[in-house]
Structure 1
Amino acid sequence: MMLKAHVVALAALTFCSASALAAGETLRVGADLTYPPFQYRDVNGKPTGFEIDITNAICKAMEVKCDYVVSSFDAEIPSLMAKKVDFISPLGATSKRKKSIDFSHFVYHVPSQLVVHKGSTLQPTPESLQGKNIAVQQGSIQEMYANKYWAPKGVNVKAYPDQDGIYQDLAADRLDGALSPSVAVTFGFLQKPEGKDFELTGPEVRDDVLFSIGSAYGVRKGDEKTQQLLNEGLAKIMADGTWQKIKQHYFGDITMKVARTETTDAAK
């Protein structure tokens, strides 16, 4: 009986270890602040956006301080592996990325779609886009998809270090289109004056090998402490309604929750 009680107590201690060990610590978060409304700087230069607010809520729930380390999106995984940051903002938990890093539970899902000039007949197929200049963000799942399926068929895939550069060249007519996360385009670029002549077209672009069913925080391989802390914090803000409140603020009634929380076998 005493042995059983000891085992139960040990299990409870293990479950709470992430919270207890992390309380009061400062964690460095890799972020790319050129991706509104997910990550950007407000008028005072402070990090803000959907992902930033979610991350801040998790850090508050777990009683840790989170400092943002800004870099380009394609530099985030190398920074994580080099221990320059403790975890990185949500990104697609693809099978390729899982070879290098581990992930938290899913935070949200956003479809990928093609954005083009209003009235354009272009569709997200290699036949339709042959000879056209199509932008993607460096290091993104959209870049992987376009390089695998479109570039070999004659599509001019142009990689940019950030979404701002893509939006600027779309508005300047230097691009025929861009493959981007649809929610970011809808609630970012399309709501700005420079995006008024553009629209999303065609169905969601998907691939069961390259894509994940959702985005999750990236952590270093074997860093179970940070992974558990993020998972516990995410579970807390989903249970108490904070996640939904933040999502509603930025995206209204759009459904962004992933049906299951785990990232295991998310991208086979």
Structure 2
Amino acid sequence: MNRVKSLATACVLLIGGVGGAQAESLRIATEGAYPPFNYVDSNNELHGFDVDIAKALCAKMQVECTLVAQDWDGIIPALMANKFDAVVASMVVTEERQKKISFTDRYYRTRLAVAVPKDSSLADTRPATLEGKLVGAQSSSTQSIYAEDVYGAAGAEVKLYPTQDDANSDLANGRLDAVVNDKFPLLDWLAKSGRDCCKLLGDIQGSDDEVAIAVRQDDQALRERLNQALADIRADGTYQQIVSRYFEFDIY
């Protein structure tokens, strides 16, 4: 989903009690530009729901983890090139991605939504409604695929951006008629920096997707360990504690 330029710094999580076959270190990538799921603060440190989930999983697996920020467009190629071991970055599971990488069980569900300027006369998110409009989305994302395949096919002009922040900025400055994004980060933006300029037009019905952790296809042992850790943090209440820091509703 949204992305920072390459960061030289990494956020390191050291977990005590590591031993035996689990003494290896893991590098976990996130994007760092997709609040509230992952973002970088003024001290260049990573925060967000994805980051907290990654830390909880590392603690449960009793491994030493390094969290690194990676631009979204290059995050799958970098995983496949062994630059890190897993991606916890609100990545939606798609058939196309599964041709290259593997996914764990989901750790939340999401759906697409559309935001428009406050003075917009658009009535709904149907493709015909956006015919002839300029619609923004983040490149290499499920929202960009939807924007091009559905809105573009219905006659909208689609403009793609390196990050969702770039698309949101153009919407706020009157250079777009609408943006497509996952609903939760879109609501977060509208509640904060986008509250004075823009509004939610509505959800895109039928766009519900599962979000999971990505690993290399030949790393099924790590995938199964992550699945067990996900089940464990769901069972012991850790997952819900993390959810409650960011949302007032269940996103699982």
Q: TM-score, normalised by structure 1?
A: 0.81
Q: Which residue of 2 aligns with 1:60?
A: 59
Name whichever structure is richer in strand by fraction: 2
Quote the offset at 1:205 in angstroms.
Answer: 3.9
Percent identity at matched positions? 35
Q: Which residue of 1 aligns with 2:239?
A: 243
Quote the offset at 1:166 in angstroms.
Answer: 1.5
Q: TM-score, normalised by structure 2?
A: 0.86
Aligned mates of 1:246, 1:43 — CA distance in 2: 22
Counterpart check, 1:203 vs 2:198: no
Aligned mates of 1:46, 1:161 — CA distance in 2: 21
Counterpart check, 1:83 vs 2:82: yes
Count residues with an aligned counterpart: 233
Counterpart check, 1:23 vs 2:18: no
Letter of the 2:215 partner, please give it: V
Quote the offset at 1:222 in angstroms.
Answer: 2.4
CA contact (8 A) 2:113 2:186 kept: no
SS of structure 2 residue aligned to 1:157: strand
CA contact (8 A) 1:31 1:70 kept: yes
Letter of the 1:178 partner, please give it: V
Q: Structure 2 vs 1, CA of residues 186 and 23 (structure 1 numbering), >3 Å: closer, same or farther?
A: same
Please point out which of 223, 226, 231 is paired with 2:222: 226
Quote the offset at 1:196 in angstroms.
Answer: 2.5
Letter of the 1:246 partner, please give it: I
CA displacement, residues 93-126 of structure 1 (integer Å, 9 cap, x when unaligned): 1111111111001000121100112242323222
SS of structure 1 residue aligned to 2:160: strand
Moved over 3 A (4+): 19-22
Which 5+ residue runs of structure 2 have no aligned equivalent? 1-17
Counterpart check, 1:74 vs 2:69: no
Which 5+ residue runs of structure 1 have no aligned equivalent? 1-18, 258-268
Aligned mates of 2:47, 2:21 — CA distance in 1: 23
Give the root-mean-square deviation of aligned CA atoms.
1.8
Name whichever structure is richer in helix by fraction: 1
Quote the offset at 1:22 in angstroms.
Answer: 5.6
Q: Structure 2 vs 1, CA of residues 20 and 206 (structure 1 numbering), >3 Å: closer, same or farther?
A: farther
Q: Which residue of 2 aligns with 1:263?
A: none
